[in-house]
Amino acid sequence: MRPAKIVSVIVGIMLISLIALAFLVLPPMLKAEAKPISMAVEFNDHSAAAWIALDKGWFKEEGLNVTTLETFTTGLELAAALTKGDVDVAWACLGPLLLAYARGVPIVVVAQAHLHGYAIVGRPGIESIDQLNGGVVA
């Protein structure tokens, strides 16, 4: 047998073996249940998206098994729970997490949920920040 034909036969056998292995290994992997995830959120309007995503099944659609949303009154309480391992992940304001990180807690920010979360709403006629000089912001 020629060397080129031997190489072709070996490559063919390897391809068939890989395809057979894929059919044996992939189905159980695809059926595997994702690890349950407990998520912490602050009790404010910024966490609304997390509640909506849980309610509409969007976490599941992305392959995440978010089982609970633990609600915390402040970001500091939330950061403490994350630090102690009481929750797996957090949907939180950045400030308290930065404080925890500065104290040596190994926190990793993996995504940003929103920009410009707060706004100043003025009465009609207020069109620039300069018009607030000398006024009362409540």
* Domain segments of the chain as ranges: 1-32, 33-138
In this prediction, residue 101 has a pLDDT band, given cuts at 50, 70 and 90, of: confident
CA distance 120 to 138: 9
pLDDT of residue 91: 86
> pTM here?
0.57
Give 38's strand partners. 68
Among 84, 69, 79, 85, smallest CA distance to 109 is for 79
pLDDT of residue 106: 85
pLDDT of residue 55: 94
Cα within 13 Å of Cα(20), Cβ side: 6
**Segment 9-28, tens digit of pLDDT:** 676 677 776 676 677 766 66
Instruction: State which fold the 33-138 domain adopts.
Output: D-Maltodextrin-Binding Protein; domain 2 (3.40.190)
**Segment 46-96, tens digit of pLDDT:** 788 889 999 999 999 998 999 888 999 988 898 889 889 999 999 888 888
CA distance 92 to 43: 10
